[in-house]
């Protein structure tokens, strides 16, 4: 392969493909959320726009684009403007190292199969963790810049919550990394060919799921935007496209953390043991596993009430962190033996 293909054409094609797929997934994840929760709550969900309301997310998108963009008089205009961007860019950047399949030819664009990941960084996992923690600033700044009390409270809550849940989240991922002996996302998946890490790392897996829900501000940890307490939390004052950015970032983050869970615990694109005779393409397996997690998100949201702020902090620091630390010790013990 020549230089242009390897370093310009292929990456660009991958980026465009991933970007489109992610945005479409985000769009239809909002639709799926409304539908799934609707069926759990004995109602129908969106039904009017398109067949079974399938075009609802597109209609929503157009609506948000065309909405008047209101900036409060007393807001810090620059920070207010940049906060949604800070929120969405890291969420999308995280997909840089998410391997969606084993190898791909990108519909014949590449002459021989290339790894199905935009960039196989050797510190992939670290990169995701680092970049996703920037997203917090978007929420924090958005809450602060609105210069209003409810967003401020929401921003404070999210800062506290995300900082304290980042720790157990990262510690939970240390287990799989130790077992795979690499930080590369592809490497971690390939290390699970014998056995998925969910079996030996069950403790870390459970903690990770709980923390991931908190990290993405979803119910029952949706305190920063707890609508019945703080109206809409940090994005109370936002409207139009800026609001849409926050919204997209939340859903993109959901996909990111689900992807990490799939990569680190459920064997990424590897087929489910015992079902490999189906010969599904690897990206289908990956999508299915991510889909299971996303469904779990929606299910949890329809089932559980919301935690209180102090209780949330308490379980984060007093329960999850010790558990993950113990898990690291156990893993180390068995690896050394």
Partner 1 sequence: MFKREIVELNMGPQHPSTHGVLRLKLKLDGETVVDLEPEIGYLHRGVEKLAENFNYLQALNLTDRLDYIAAVSNNLGYIETLEKLGGVEVPKKAQYFRVLLTELNRIASHLLWLATHALDIGAMTVFLYAFREREMILDMFEMYTGGRLLTTTFRYGGLKEDIPEGFDKKVKEFIKIFPSRMEDYEDLLTENRIWKKRTVGVGVISAEDAINLGLSGPVLRGSGVPYDIRKVEPYEVYDEFDWEIAVENGCDTYARYKVRMKEMRQSLRIVEQALEGMPEGEFRAKVPKTLKLPKGEVYHSIEAPKGELGYYLISDGKGTGPYRLKVRGPSFVNLQGLKPMCKGHMVADVVAIIGTLDVVLGEIDR
CB of 41 to partner 1, least distance (A): 4
Is-contact 294 141, C-beta < 8 A?
no
CB of 228 to partner 1, least distance (A): 4
Tell me how far apart the alpha carbons of residues 259 and 43 are, in angstroms, rounded to a whole number.
30
- H and E: helices and strands count for the chain: 14, 2
Residues 6+ apart with CB under 8 A from 262: 268, 286, 289, 290, 293
Q: What angle do CA 20, 9, 102 make, to 5 degrees?
A: 65
Which CB, 91 or 153, lies closer to partner 1? 153
CB of 105 to partner 1, least distance (A): 45
Which CB, 52 or 150, lies closer to partner 1? 150
User: How is 13-62 classified by DSSP, letter by letter?
Assistant: HHHHHHHHHHHHHHHHHHHHHHHHHHHHTTS----SSSGGGTTHHHHHHH
CB of 263 to partner 1, least distance (A): 29
Which CB, 37 or 106, lies closer to partner 1? 37
Which CB, 14 or 218, lies closer to partner 1? 218
Place of tokens 């014949």: 108
Show the tokens assigned to 332: 């180390």
Which CB, 160 or 171, lies closer to partner 1? 160
- Residues in contact with partner 1 by CB under 8 A are 37, 40-43, 149-150, 153, 157, 219-220, 222-223, 226-231, 301-311
Which CB, 70 or 278, lies closer to partner 1? 70
Show the tokens assigned to 310: 């102090």
CB of 196 to partner 1, least distance (A): 29
CB of 267 to partner 1, least distance (A): 31
Is-contact 137 86, C-beta < 8 A?
yes
């Amino acid at each position: 392969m020549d230089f242009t293909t390897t370093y310009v054409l292929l990456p660009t094609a991958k980026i465009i493909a991933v970007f489109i797929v992610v945005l479409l997934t985000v769009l239809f994840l909002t639709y799926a959320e409304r539908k799934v929760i609707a069926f759990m709550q004995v109602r129908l969900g969106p039904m009017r726009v398109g067949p079974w309301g399938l075009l609802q997310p597109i209609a929503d998108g157009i609506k948000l684009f065309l909405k008047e963009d209101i900036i409060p008089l007393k807001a810090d205009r620059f920070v207010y403007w940049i906060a949604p961007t800070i929120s969405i860019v890291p969420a999308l950047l995280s997909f840089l190292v998410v391997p969606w399949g084993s190898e791909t030819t990108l519909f014949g664009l590449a002459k021989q199969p290339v790894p199905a990941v935009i960039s196989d960084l050797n510190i992939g996992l670290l990169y995701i963790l680092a970049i996703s923690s920037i997203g917090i600033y978007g929420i924090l700044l958005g809450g602060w810049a609105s210069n209003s009390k409810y967003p401020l409270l929401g921003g404070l809550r999210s800062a506290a919550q995300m900082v304290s849940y980042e720790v157990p989240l990262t510690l939970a991922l240390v287990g799989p990394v130790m077992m795979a002996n690499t930080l590369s996302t592809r490497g971690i998946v390939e290390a699970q060919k014998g056995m998925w890490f969910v079996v030996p790392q069950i403790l870390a897996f459970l903690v990770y799921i709980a923390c991931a829900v908190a990290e993405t501000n979803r119910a029952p940890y949706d305190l920063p935007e707890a609508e019945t307490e703080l109206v809409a939390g940090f994005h109370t004052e936002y409207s139009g496209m800026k609001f849409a950015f926050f919204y997209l970032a939340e859903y993109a983050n959901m996909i990111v953390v689900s992807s990490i869970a799939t990569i680190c615990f459920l064997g990424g694109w590897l087929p489910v043991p015992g079902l490999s005779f189906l010969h599904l393409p690897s990206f289908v397996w990956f999508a299915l596993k991510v889909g299971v997690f996303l469904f779990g998100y929606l299910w949890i949201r329809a089932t559980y009430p919301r935690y209180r702020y102090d209780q949330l902090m308490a379980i984060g620091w007093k329960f999850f962190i010790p558990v993950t630390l113990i898990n690291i010790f156990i893993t180390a013990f068995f690896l050394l033996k």
